[in-house]
Structure 1
């Protein structure tokens, strides 16, 4: 019952941020933007009988994301960079989580083709516009960030969780829209598109914790046989 209430609270909080964004209410944005992620952390904490390493790493990723959200609410290139770094470490936490479910197959190498192609095309355009826009100092952080989030998507593929893969892809789409709106061309609906895809991504990554029940059961059965 309490989990359903948490999910309802997450939806209400996420919608609250969208309304605060439309109303340009900064106080409400400070409450709802990181608050929605904190509610997801609470939801993750209520999931029982799952792989603790995976669960804890996802929670760490969510916590770092909440910190990144706060930095991005502040104006200035330095705060954007801090937010970028916070999300960079969040993605590394997600990569570490997916590695705990590592089930590699040589066929997974094929997934690198669309991931690398999209990342290359995005970086190629961002490189030009970042330099032309006088933001040369942000190019290396953006480059590293795109590489890491690409690795995150591939790691999700290898974990063989469609929920995690969908969440990772949505995260990249959200960040791509954010970067495009910031460095390439202004998009009127970008703020809403970024946050809707971002919240969906984080929610799916949170829900992906539940899949690890099978790993726990399999390990316990193996241990009992031994």
Structure 2
């Protein structure tokens, strides 16, 4: 009678090593920090630059007018500041709150990106500047042009969006601001083979004091 031969068990794929997970978490942290800070800085710088130029009719001729990113739309700059605050808050909270803040960071990047792209063909602010310069309530600029700064603002907004996406995926494995203080308050475990100094361990100064009193420290009590 033939005996049943046990079939070899199929082993599951080995789990990702802790060192690999830690390295991936560090890379995600560096990517989120660098892209978030750089993107917000680019958006804020671009907001102060000239976005549109044109010519307003004035006294039978023309007067050059221009508007900055702040005048065209204040949304990217405002969302960049909120995004910076959210980026810092990601490390101050944990758990579900961290995911909420990471989602807010991603929304800030998406909103700033949409606002920068919508401003590319909007000449409302330029027409308003032309009306103010010419003194006419209704006027339209001629020969209007758009600089590269709206596109630069959109690129910076995309970096903020990337930081938010990375934070959503990787932030649960990141340390928090208070983790090192939590570790510092934990009592240290005693090392095996070593005892804390106590009554059973005589110090050299105790032996000298016993000799000064005329006692023999070698005798058992």
Q: Which is helix-richer, 1 or 2?
A: 1
Q: Is the radius of gyration larger for structure 1 or structure 2?
A: 2
In which range does the TM-score fall when normalised by the shorter chain? 0.3 to 0.5
Tell me: higher relative CO, structure 1 or 2? Use CA pairs within 8 A at least 6 residues apart.
2
TM-score, normalised via structure 1 length: 0.32
Q: Which is strand-richer, 1 or 2?
A: 2
